[in-house]
Amino acid sequence: MGLFDKKFSLKHIAIAGFACIGLFAVSYGVIEATNQTSFCGTTCHEMDPMYKTWQTSNHKVIECADCHEKPGLVGTVESKWKGTKELVLHVTGNVPDPIKLQNTNEVNCYVCHQDKIKERELALERKDPHTERHFQEGMNCVSCHSGIVHDEMKNKVLPSRDRCYTCHLDAMSSLVRRD
C-alpha cells in the first residue's frame, strides 16, 4: 500500500490545520515585530545612524515601515524579502552602506502627505511646487526633499528655492529682481 492509498483521517486534517494556523501566527508575529522602528534601530548596528537621525526628525512618530514599505500585501512581501536578503548580509558581515542602498523611489510620502499634490493654477498662484506635473515628469518627494529624516542638517528645514534652479534655471532667472 503506497502513501497516497491511505485515507487521511480527521486527526491528520486537524494536525495539518493546526500547523497552518501556527505557521500563520508565527509569520504574522514576525511581520509585526519587523515593522516596528525599534526592530530597525536596535537589531542591526549598521542602521544606528539612520535610527538616530530619525529620532531627532519631525517624522519620529512614524514607523520605518510606514515610509519604506509599499502598502498592501505585495508591498509587505517585497519588503520582507528585501529584509531577508539584508539579514543575510548582516549575518555574513557583508553589509554595504545602507544609505547608498536605499532606493529613494520606495519612500511612501503620499500615505501622510496626499494633500501635497495641488491643482496647477492654485499651486502657481501660491508659488507652491507640489503640482501633479512634477510627479508626471517622474519626480517624487525626495527629488527635492532628499535627506529628509536621515540627514540631521536637512531634518528641520525645507529645501530652499535654489533647489528649483537645478531644473528651472532659465525660467527662474527671469524671475530674479534686477535692481
Residue 52 domain-assigned (yes or no): yes
Residue 127 domain-assigned (yes or no): yes
| 52/71 Cα distance (integer angstroms) | 25
Per-residue pLDDT, 103: 55
| 23/102 Cα distance (integer angstroms) | 30
Using the predicted structure, report yes or no on whether residue 105 has a pLDDT greater than 80.
no
Using the predicted structure, report yes or no on whether residue 22 has a pLDDT greater than 70.
yes
Structural domain boundaries enclosing 103: 15-173
The count of domains in the chain is 1
Residue 41 domain-assigned (yes or no): yes
The contacts of residue 14 (CB under 8 Å, 6+ apart) are none
Residue 131 domain-assigned (yes or no): yes
Which CATH number goes with the domain that contains 65?
Answer: 1.10.3820.10
Residue 13's alpha-carbon distances to 3, 20, 71, 123, 141, in angstroms, are 15, 11, 34, 61, 51
- Bridge partners of residue 131, in order along the sequence: 118
> Among positive and negative, which fits the CA dihedral 76, 78, 81, 85?
negative
Residue 69 domain-assigned (yes or no): yes
Residue 10 domain-assigned (yes or no): no
Residue 4 domain-assigned (yes or no): no
Residue 145 domain-assigned (yes or no): yes
Question: pLDDT tens-digit profile of 75-98?
Answer: 888 888 888 888 888 888 877 765
Q: How confident is the model at residue 179 (pLDDT cuts 50, 70, 90)?
A: very low
